[in-house]
């Protein structure tokens, strides 16, 4: 197809992506249910369209192109990390780690901190668990209980949980978004974490203050607080610390799985005969995103070979100047793709190759481009009313996404901090260049 030469940019090569968006969003709007069209089905249709393009190239040659795309080191590594992260999640949940971590966090919240504390504990849980959905599912009943006991609006309480969930979704070492961002941009996880954390920290601090102020310092006493076991929290600590100090992510996750199983068996939470079953169930839970990542890699490889990626690069390059412009382009690309796909991991997998081309062309550090991808897809995911996070939060509390949205300050502040970092840090670097 490109035969190793520079491919001419062609807007027609983007047709498969356009087909995906029309089918996926169209089905959601028509049926008023964004789960009516499974993501993988929409992507398979898009892949079929990609195969129909460029009739001058044989089917076998196209198969070689997608085989090369799927066989890239980053795609294979990312898929294996997804599966390992799923195994850890299954093991640590079965061992009682989720309940103990939630109860530990709640026991540490000062009585006058209430809703602001829900945000803080949501941050802690989501960073530990690596999943915003799991955090919302675990904390939504607690948020409802606090609302009933304090008289605070249910929408405010669950918004604090969603905000905390998006904090960890963006930062956790075992979050699929972090894994996808790091692998597509080719940087170390610890470097991305540090760069990302410094950008969003002001947003998190302001969010704590916001929830504390709007709830007027009222206190509560949660009577139904469950027990916790520090031993059951240990696997999360091992994974978090291991990843931060730079130990290989596979070793970290495998160690987390082993420790979780040892803790689960020793405490009686996991029967000896169920050890492998709980790990297998966790791995299975990651099948969808793993398969989607592989299919997206197939689509992107054909789109790239036909000139679609080059077209986007030419379009962006004609409108940006320097490193700051390149970073702003990556941020907007990530945000728009997430708003179209309603899945921040899928959005990163789709936008990642384009962001990598932009960052390489304009000298943007991989850790910075990975941070921008993760931040701005999380911004979109935390605000769109048809995203899984808001739909889940609304369902669990019998609200609507639009009831919750006015109080979702953290994603907005995260976007503000992201663009501020692009302007301020970018200006400093360009001045020193």
Q: Would you state the structure tokens that stand for residue 377, as one six-digit string?
A: 């897809």
pLDDT at 76: 83
Q: Which of 189, 111, 101 is nearest to 370 (CA)?
A: 189
User: Tokens standing for 136?
Assistant: 């919302």
Chain segment 356-409, per-residue pLDDT in tens: 988 998 889 999 999 999 999 999 989 887 777 887 788 778 888 888 999 999
d(C-alpha 46, C-alpha 350), whole Å: 13
Q: Cα Rg for the chain, rounded, in angstroms?
A: 22
The tokens 């969808």 sit on which residue?
288
Give the model's pLDDT for residue 289: 74
Are the beta carbons of 168 and 127 closer than 8 angstroms?
yes
d(CA 376, CA 384): 12
How distant, in Å, are the alpha carbons of 65, 366, 395 from that of 69?
6, 20, 39
Can you tell me the distance from the alpha carbon of 51 to that of 295, in angstroms, rounded to the nearest whole number?
Answer: 12
The parts of the chain modelled with pLDDT lower than 50 are 2-4, 431-433
Q: What pLDDT sits at residue 220?
A: 58
Residues 168 and 132 sit within 8 Å (Cβ to Cβ): yes
Residue 4's pLDDT is what? 46
Length of the chain (residues): 433
What pLDDT, on the 0 to 100 scale, is given for residue 433? 44
Residue 4 falls in which region: left (phi positive, over 0), alpha (psi -120 to 50) or beta? left
Residue ranges per structural domain of the chain: 11-432
397 in Cβ contact with 140 (< 8 Å)? yes
Give the torsion sign (CA, 179, 185, 186, 187).
negative
Structure tokens belonging to residue 209: 């203050």
The position carrying tokens 């605070």 is: 152
The pLDDT value given to residue 89: 81
Residue 105 parent element (H or E): helix 97-108
Return d(Cα 120, Cα 165) in angstroms, integer: 10
CA distance 272 to 269: 10
Where does residue 317 rank: exposed (0-12), middle (13-18), buried (19+ CB within 10 A)? Answer: middle
């Amino acid at each position: 197809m490109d035969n190793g030469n520079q491919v001419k940019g062609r807007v027609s090569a983007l047709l498969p992506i356009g087909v995906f968006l029309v089918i996926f969003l169209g089905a959601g709007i028509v049926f008023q249910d964004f789960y009516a069209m499974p993501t993988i089905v929409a992507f398979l249709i898009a892949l079929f369209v990609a195969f129909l393009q460029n009739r001058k190239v044989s089917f076998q040659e196209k198969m070689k192109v997608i085989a090369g795309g799927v066989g890239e080191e980053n795609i294979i590594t990312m898929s294996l990390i997804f599966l390992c992260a799923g195994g850890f999640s299954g093991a640590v949940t079965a061992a009682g780690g989720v309940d103990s971590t939630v109860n530990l966090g709640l026991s540490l919240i000062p009585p006058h901190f209430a809703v602001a504390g829900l945000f803080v504990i949501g941050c802690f849980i989501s960073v530990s668990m690596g999943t915003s959905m799991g955090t919302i599912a675990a904390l939504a009943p607690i948020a409802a209980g606090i609302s009933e006991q304090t008289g605070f609006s249910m929408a405010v309480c669950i918004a604090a949980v969603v905000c905390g969930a998006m904090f960890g979704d963006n930062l956790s070492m075992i979050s699929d978004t972090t894994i996808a961002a790091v692998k597509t941009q080719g940087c170390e996880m610890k470097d991305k974490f540090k760069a990302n954390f410094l950008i969003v920290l002001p947003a998190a601090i302001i969010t704590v203050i916001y929830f504390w102020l709007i709830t007027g310092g009222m206190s509560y006493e949660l009577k139904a607080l469950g027990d916790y076991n520090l031993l059951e929290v240990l696997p999360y600590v091992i994974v978090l610390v291991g990843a931060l100090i730079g130990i290989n992510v596979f070793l970290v996750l495998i160690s987390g799985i082993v420790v979780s199983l040892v803790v689960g068996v020793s405490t009686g939470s996991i029967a000896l005969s169920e050890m492998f079953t709980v790990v297998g169930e966790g791995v299975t839970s990651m099948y969808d995103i793993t398969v989607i990542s592989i299919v997206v890699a197939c689509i992107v490889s054909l789109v790239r070979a036909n000139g679609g990626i080059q077209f986007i690069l030419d379009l962006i390059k004609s409108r940006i100047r320097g490193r700051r412009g390149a970073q702003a382009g990556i941020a907007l690309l990530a945000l728009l793709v997430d708003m179209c796909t309603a899945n921040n991991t899928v959005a990163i997998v789709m936008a990642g190759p384009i962001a990598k081309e932009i960052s390489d062309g304009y000298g943007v550090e991989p850790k910075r481009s990975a941070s921008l991808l993760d931040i701005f897809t999380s911004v979109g995911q935390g605000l769109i009313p048809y995203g899984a996070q808001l739909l889940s939060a609304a369902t669990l509390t019998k609200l609507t996404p639009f009831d919750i949205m006015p109080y979702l300050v953290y994603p907005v502040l995260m976007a503000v901090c992201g663009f501020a970092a692009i302007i301020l840090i970018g200006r400093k670097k360009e001045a020193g260049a």
